[in-house]
Amino acid sequence: MSGPQIGVLALQGDVREHLAALRAVGADPVPVRRRPELDAVDALLIPGGESTTISHLLRELELVEPLRARLAEGMPAYGSCAGMILLASEIIDAGVPGRAAIPLSGIDMAVRRNAFGRQVNSFEGDLDFDGLAQPVHAVFIRAPWVERVGDGVQVLAQAAGHPVAVRQGSVLATSFHPEVTGDRRVHGLFVDIVTGAA
C-alpha cells in the first residue's frame, strides 16, 4: 500500500532532497508547479529558498489564492526555512513592495526573515525537539525565527530564545533544513500528521 501523496512545491530550493526524504519515510512525493498538481495532492511541503522569489513565482503561476484556499480547508503542509516564512500569517521585514514575501496564513504566527543574519551567519546545532526522543541536528541558512505565536500554536523547538519549529493542527514549520542532514524524523513526523497518526 502506498503512502499519502505529498506535493513538494518545485519552484526553488532543495526539491530533490525533500522528495527523497519523503520517499524514505513512506510517502508518495510528487513535484508541484501548477494548479492541477496542487489540487491532486493530499498535502504540500514548501522548501527553503528565497521567500520573495518563491512568492513572485506563486503570483506568476496564479497559485497564491488556490494555495491559501487549500490551507484554509485544512490541507496538511510543512514549510522549511522560506517555507516557514510563507506559512506565517504575518511576515516581518517581508521585502520591498511589489516583490514582498506573501503570507499564506497556514499558521497563526509572525516570522522575521533572515533573523539569524546573512549567509555568512549560517550555523548548525543540536536542538531538543518536542516529541522526538533525541535532539535534532539543525542546519540554519539565512534562517527566519518566530517572533509571535497565536493560540493553538505549539512550539516544538527553540534557538537563541526564539521558536524555530512550530505546529498548528496539521501544519508544521521549521526554520532549519532537515533535508540536508540525513535525519528523516521531521519528515516522518509530517507524514504521521498527514496520515492522522500524530
Please give the DSSP secondary-structure letter assigned to residue 179. Answer: G
C-alpha cell at 40: 491532486
H-helix or E-strand spanning residue 194: helix 185-195
Euclidean distance between CA atoms 43 and 53, whole angstroms:
22
> 113 labelled as ligand-binding?
yes
51 is in an annotated binding site: yes
46 is in an annotated binding site: no
Separation in Å, CA 76 to CA 34, 71, 191, 193: 18, 7, 9, 7
152 marked as part of a ligand binding site: no
Which residues are the active-site residues? Answer: 81, 177, 179
Tally of CA atoms within 13 A in the half-sphere of 141 that contains its CB: 17
Alpha helix ranges (H) inside 25-154 = 35-40, 51-60, 64-72, 82-87
b/e string for 106-145 if b means 16 or more Cβ within 10 A?
bbbbebbbebbeeeeeeeeeebebeebeeebebbbbbbbb
- Do 24 and 35 meet the contact criterion of CB atoms below 8 Å apart? no
Residues belonging to the binding site for L-glutamine are: 49-51, 113, 141-142
